[in-house]
């Protein structure tokens, strides 16, 4: 970790919103490819706990964490129980299979974020789900203590465990700017450990992070996704790098970073699905689609629907809109 860069990243942050222990940020339900040619419903619970120890330059998840250094024991299980009640109050789904993602805006296997003493209560609330997905920083998995925590949690769950890891980029300059405190060797070692423990892996890759030339960003994003697949990730999600944490806005104001356009995300997913080999699943992250650069009210909805279909079917689909829309003729600047 670059201490100077970390200080700059944290100094650029706007005031942190006040979050209450035991109160989640809500939930969503989406459909995901199940890896067997079908789709499966997946809930995501956005849990509030202590802040991540790292200072990654693109991250804004600190806004959804507590000001205290440790997550109070019991607060995560109570959030999951409350969200379960909210979902159970809705009309029942006619699908017996379902996955659950617990995203706590930090590292699930960092005891400051999730106390191991709370594992049994958390797992009790997750009974009945086919797969449980949690997030963690890859470098922490090099520790034997962390590996023991992963095994302990996995062994307590009567289902499949999946870890979500941020690779972000393999482009050297972007890696320096990202301030991930992680080498590619550490990332590959983390995937090797998870594979050896029969734990599924999903990887996050960024499109056009800071430091990557605009005219090379799609190629580097594709290369990063393909590298994750070669290293054993079953799922790779391509995320447009977004502003929102203060530091990214500062870089943009100085001409050091520009948000990616919709056409770049489309091109990257087209290349990944068009040259897909093996069993890895590639998807484009479509959260906050209405705010992405290079769309308008005319083309945006149909382009979103196309990407959603491509995510779900894992097949290329020709575009009939973007080449003819005036918003795509706006040049990069």
Give the tens place of pLDDT for each residue, 30-73.
Answer: 999 999 989 999 999 999 999 999 999 999 999 999 999 999 99
Q: Which residues contact 112 (CB under 8 A, 6 or more apart)?
A: 50, 53, 69, 70, 71
173: pLDDT strictly greater than 80:
yes
- What residues contact residue 311 under an 8 Å CB cut-off, 6+ apart? 33, 269, 283, 284, 286
Mean pLDDT of all residues in 289-314: 95
Given a cut of 70, whether residue 93 has pLDDT beyond it is no
Q: What is the helix (H) or strand (E) element at residue 238, kind and residue range?
A: strand 235-240
Q: What pLDDT sits at residue 103?
A: 98
- Looking at the DSSP assignment, which residues form a beta bridge with residue 186? none
Q: Return the pLDDT at 1.
A: 66
Q: Give me the mean pLDDT over the 11-39 stretch.
A: 96
Contact in structure between 202 and 165 (CB atoms under 8 Å): yes
Mean pLDDT, range 140-159, rounded to an integer? 98
- For residue 245, pLDDT over 90 is answered with yes
Name every residue whose Cβ is closer than 8 Å to that of residue 186 and which is 6 or more positions away in sequence: 138, 139, 142
pTM: 0.95
Question: 167-186 in b/e burial notation, b at 16+ Cβ within 10 A?
Answer: bbbbbeebbebbbbbbeeeb
Q: What is the mean pLDDT of residues 243-250?
A: 96
User: How many whole angstroms separate alpha carbon 272 and alpha carbon 277?
Assistant: 9
The H or E element containing residue 45 is strand 39-46
Quick: pLDDT tens for 100-126.
Answer: 999 999 999 999 999 999 999 999 999
Q: How confident is the model at residue 187 (pLDDT cuts 50, 70, 90)?
A: very high
Residue ranges per structural domain of the chain:
3-329
Q: Pick the residue with more confidence: 1 or 173?
A: 173
Q: In the structure, what pLDDT confidence band is assigned to residue 333 with cuts at 50, 70 and 90?
A: very low
Residue 203's alpha-carbon distances to 149, 224, 235, in angstroms, are 20, 10, 6
What per-residue confidence (pLDDT) applies to 90?
Answer: 85
| Residue 198 CB contacts under 8 Å (≥ 6 apart), including other chains | none
Does the structure show a pLDDT above 50 at 279?
Answer: yes
Q: Which two tokens stand for residue 174?
A: 């972007």
Question: Which CATH code is given to the segment(s) 3-329?
Answer: 3.20.20.70
Residue 39, classed as helix, strand or coil, is strand
**pLDDT: which is higher, 76 or 327:** 76
Residues 114/120, Cβ–Cβ less than 8 Å? no
Is pLDDT above 70 for 95? no
């Amino acid at each position: 970790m670059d201490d100077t860069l970390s200080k700059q990243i944290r100094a650029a942050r706007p005031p942190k919103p006040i979050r209450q222990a035991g109160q989640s940020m809500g939930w969503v339900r989406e459909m995901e490819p199940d890896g067997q040619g079908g789709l499966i419903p997946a809930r995501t619970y956005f849990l509030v706990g202590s802040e991540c120890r790292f200072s990654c330059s693109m991250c804004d998840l600190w806004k959804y964490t507590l000001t205290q250094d440790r997550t109070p024991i019991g607060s995560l299980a109570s959030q999951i129980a409350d969200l379960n009640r909210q979902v159970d109050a809705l009309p029942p789904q006619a699908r017996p299979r379902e996955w659950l993602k617990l995203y706590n805006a930090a590292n699930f296997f960092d005891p400051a974020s999730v106390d191991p003493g709370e594992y049994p209560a958390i797992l009790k609330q997750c009974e009945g789900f086919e797969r449980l997905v949690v997030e963690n920083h890859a470098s922490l998995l090099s520790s034997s203590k962390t590996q023991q925590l992963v095994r302990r949690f996995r062994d307590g769950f009567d289902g499949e465990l999946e870890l979500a890891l941020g690779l972000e980029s393999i482009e050297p300059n972007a890696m320096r700017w990202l301030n991930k405190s992680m080498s590619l060797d550490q990332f590959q070692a983390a995937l090797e450990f998870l594979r050896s423990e029969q734990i599924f892996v999903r990887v996050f890759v960024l499109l056009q992070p800071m430091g990557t030339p605009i005219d090379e960003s799609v190629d580097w994003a594709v290369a990063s996704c393909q590298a994750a697949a070669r290293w054993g990730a079953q799922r790779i999600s391509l995320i447009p790098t977004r502003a929102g944490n203060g530091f990214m806005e500062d870089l943009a104001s100085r001409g050091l970073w520009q948000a990616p356009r919709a056409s770049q995300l489309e091109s990257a997913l087209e290349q990944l699905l068009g040259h897909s080999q093996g069993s890895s699943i590639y998807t484009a992250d479509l959260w906050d689609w209405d705010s992405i650069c290079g769309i308008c009210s005319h083309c945006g909805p149909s382009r979103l629907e196309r990407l959603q279909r491509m995510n779900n079917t894992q097949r290329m689909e020709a575009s009939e809109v973007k080449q003819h829309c005036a918003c795509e003729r706006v040049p990069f600047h």
